[in-house]
Each structure stands twice: as C-alpha cells, then as structure tokens.
Amino acid sequence: MIEMAQTENFDFWALTGSDQFIGFMTLMTYQDLAYLFFLAIDPAYRSMGYGSQAIASLVCAYPDKKTCG
C-alpha cells in the first residue's frame, strides 16, 4: 500500500463521523474510471449507512468518471 500511496492516481480516504474514525477506502483513477479497491468500515459502525455514504461521496467527488469496484 505504501507504493500505491506514492502513485499519482491512487487515493486514500479516511472516513469519519462525529469526530470518530469510521474506516477508510482506497481507489485508483485512470482515464475515465474511478476504481474502488478497498472499503473498510469499523465493525462498531457497520450497518449504519457509512459504507453507502462513502460510495455516494466517491461518486460526487469524481463526477466525470465512471465508478466501479
């Protein structure tokens, strides 16, 4: 992951809510794609909609790209 982090088209997102760390996601952008590699939500926060919110944020952040994962 350290090598990926140094790549220009690879992004790491920290997911937070109410000043708490909820999880993270990693994605790669390439041409017209935004590919979700990994989405992790802390077990204490699962089934609360955080994963859906994270994916919705991803789609909004890259409006000119097709999202997949």
pLDDT along the chain (69 residues), means of 10: 73 90 93 92 95 93 84
Domains and CATH numbers, the chain: 2-68 (3.40.630.30)
Closest to 64 in 3D by CA, of 27, 29, 15 = 29
- Measured between its terminal Cα atoms, the distance across the chain in Å is 17
| Model pTM score | 0.78
**pLDDT of amino acid 9:** 85
Q: Are 29 and 50 in contact (CB under 8 A)?
A: no
The pair phi, psi for residue 5, each rounded to 5°, is -60, -25
